[in-house]
Structure formats: structure tokens, C-alpha cells
Amino acid sequence: LDLEMALRRALDEEEFVLHYQPKINLNTGRISGVEALIRWQRPGVGLVYPSEFVAVLEDTGLIIRAGAWIIDAACRQIAAWNRSMTGPVHVAVNVSSRQFIEGDLEEEVRAALERHKVPAELLELELTETALMSNAERTIGVLTRLKELGVKCAIDDFGTGYSSLAYLQRFPIDKLKIDIAFVRDITTNPNDAAIAVAIISMAHSLKLRVIAEGVEARAQLEYLRRNRCDEIQGYFFSRPLPADELGQLVAAGK
């Protein structure tokens, strides 16, 4: 309850901040975009990670307000990078299940893009299988309208939830994100490797891009590259960074 009150205060006082983790295009070796990850600068405590508070935001419904703030903050950052950098920076935002199911995601996205004058194709939404499958017919409508707006959509943590493969081809999505669970032991566990390779192959058959998260070692990167994964993300290349540090990394042409 204390935590809930502190989180309400955090929303009112704008104590949240987004950090950004780069994604690397395995064909070019360059940064192709970033994933925004929320942190809480809690007064008197310091930087608090989402494992400590995102579940509480979800359980209390505060995630609806927080989710709208996250989308707005990401669009504000895209606009700032658009002004200060030579090339555009694509930003992916995590959308919680409750935000997708109960919130007005389309309107929040439309309003934030307009408010910050951001080209829609620079914004990507990372959605979970659970959120997408909770009402598949509604999901098709929402995703279709987001696609018409020009926003990209990815399925996060792919392979851990329950997705109907029949719906996978009916959902107008752009990308699958292979869950860290299959990446961690990809070079030593043949079962994990088989699943990762099958996801890559299926994604490409469906004309989707595919990214692997949680890449911590060169051997994992090389395995994924050999098996035609499009992008990777993980500590091997970089941890999530504050906006100014991420900006320096991009400007350095990495």
C-alpha cells in the first residue's frame, strides 16, 4: 500500500525516466533502434528497476496512466533525437497487457505522435502474446488501425506465452522478439537452439523481422547471425542507458 501511494506520487511528480537499450542490425553491424525501459528515480532511494514496481502498477491499474506517460515520453525523446542527430532513431516501447486490453492504446499513440510531431514509423510497440490473444478479433482491429497510422508492432518474449499460430498470420505485426529463455543457452543447449532457429525461419516465412534479446556473448551473436536472425539486443553490446549516453553512442556511429 505504501508502494502504491509512492507510485501515485511518482506519476504526479514525474519521477519516472526512460532508459534506452540499443538493438543491432546483424547485416550492417549498426544500431537499428532502441528499446525504452522504465526506471523510477525514487527520492531518497535512487534508481529503482521495473522488477520492483511494474507488477504493482499492473495490479493497481496505475499502469494505464503510466503507460500513457511512457508513450508520451518516448515520443518526446524521438523528437529530440530527430532534432539533434543526423539519422532517425527508432524507439520501441513495452505495452503491458492491461494497457493493451483496457487502455485506449490507439488514441494515446495517435495523440503522442501528433503532440511531438513524430513520424509514426519511428515508434514501435512491443506487445505480449497474452495481451494479443486475450481477445484475438479485437486485437486484429487494433493492430490494423495502428498499422494504418504507420506504427510498427512486435511480439515481445515470443515463445513463452500461448500464441495460436493461426492468429500469427492474421495479426498485422512486423516483428517477433525471441525470448531470452531460448537465447541464454543457445550455443550449448540443442533444444533451445532448435526453437530459436524455428522461430527465425517461421518469422521469415511470414515476412516478419526477427530480433533476439538477452545476447550477452559473442558466440550467441555469431550463432544468431549464421542462422539469419535480423537483429540482436543485449548486454554484449550495451546495457540500457540514459538518453544522453545513448545519444552519444549513436552519434559515435556505432
Contact, 194 vs 6, CB < 8 A? Answer: no
Least distance from C-beta 237 to ligand G, angstroms?
A: 9
Q: Which is nearer to Na ion, 73 or 92 (CB)?
A: 92
Least distance from C-beta 131 to ligand G, angstroms?
A: 10
Pairing of strands 123-128, 91-94: parallel
Q: Which is nearer to ligand G, 13 or 148 (CB)?
A: 13
108 counts as binding ligand G under rule CB under 6 A: no
Cα–Cα–Cα angle for 25, 27, 31, nearest 5°?
Answer: 25
Pairing of strands 241-242, 16-25: antiparallel
Q: In whole angstroms, what separates CA 69 from the centre of its chain?
A: 15
216 counts as binding ligand G under rule CB under 6 A: yes
179 counts as binding Mn ion under rule CB under 5 A: no
- CA-CA distance, 188 to 208, in Å (whole number)? 27
Contact, 109 vs 151, CB < 8 A? Answer: yes
111 counts as binding ligand G under rule CB under 6 A: no
From 23-31, 92-100, 115-123, 191-199, give the range in contact with Mn ion by CB under 5 A.
92-100
Least distance from C-beta 35 to Mn ion, angstroms?
A: 6
Least distance from C-beta 15 to ligand G, angstroms?
A: 14
Rounded to the nearest 5°, which phi and psi values hold at 53?
-145, -15
124 counts as binding Mn ion under rule CB under 5 A: no
157 counts as binding Na ion under rule CB under 5 A: yes
Q: What distances in angstroms separate CA 228 from CA 55, 64, 181, one per listed residue?
A: 35, 37, 19
126 counts as binding Mn ion under rule CB under 5 A: yes
22 counts as binding ligand G under rule CB under 6 A: no
Q: Which residues contact 55 (CB under 8 A, 6 or more apart)?
A: none
- CA-CA distance, 185 to 238, in Å (whole number)? 19
Identify residues 160-189 at the interface with ligand G (CB under 6 A): 180
From 100-108, 113-121, 147-155, 208-216, give the range in contact with ligand G by CB under 6 A.
208-216
- CA-CA distance, 237 to 69, in Å (whole number)? 28
Q: How many residues bind Mn ion (CB under 5 A)?
A: 3
Options 21, 32, 77, 94; binder of Mn ion; rule CB under 5 A: 94
- By the criterion CB under 5 A, which residues form the site for Mn ion? 94, 126, 156
- By the criterion CB under 5 A, which residues form the site for Na ion? 156-157, 213
